[in-house]
Amino acid sequence: MQIIKTRNTLKKEKIIKIFKRAEKPMSSQEIYCILKKTIDINLSTVYRALNTLVKTNFITKELRQNGITYYEINDHIHKHYLVCNKCNSVLKLKECPIDNLAMEISKKTGYTITDHELEFRGICPNCINK
């Protein structure tokens, strides 16, 4: 475990605010676009800020099957999503259905399980009627 020193800057504050308001995981691009509306910021600054926020455990990151990394506030609760293949809408599951399972698998296999990713994909009720 290593100590990570961080400074408070306007830009990082803005990013943190976006996460606090957001109700879904956000990509670097989404965050960049929101920021661009009100301040001048470079995309690499966004990436660096995101990485420090991940290091300090303020947010978590997850690489989705579409090849894009999504970030969201880390409330220390596992989250999983239903992603619509048509409209890309995202529905957050209320609870992690995997934790028990993970423990079970850990016992069976001898692995110490530290993380898991679970992503469902399909068609949301909205799109299915189109």
Partner DNA sequence: TTTATAAATGCAAATGATTTGCATTTGCAA
Partner DNA sequence: TTGCAAATGCAAATCATTTGCATTTATAAA
Interface residues with a second copy (CB under 8 A) are 62-65, 67, 82, 84-85, 91, 93, 97-98, 101-102, 105-106, 109-125, 128
**Window 66-95: contact mask with DNA (x via CB under 7 A):** -xxx--------------------------
CB of 30 to DNA, least distance (A): 10
With respect to a second copy, which residue has the nearer C-beta, 38 or 112? 112
- Pairwise CA distance, residues 69 & 26, whole Å: 8
Matching residue, tokens 């509306």: 37
Q: Lay out the sheet containing 59-63: strands in order across.
A: 26-27, 69-73, 59-63
Q: Please report how the helices 10-21 and 43-55 are oriented relative to each other, as an axis angle in degrees rounded to 10.
A: 70
- Among residues 18, 22, 41, 105, the one that binds DNA under rule CB under 7 A: 41
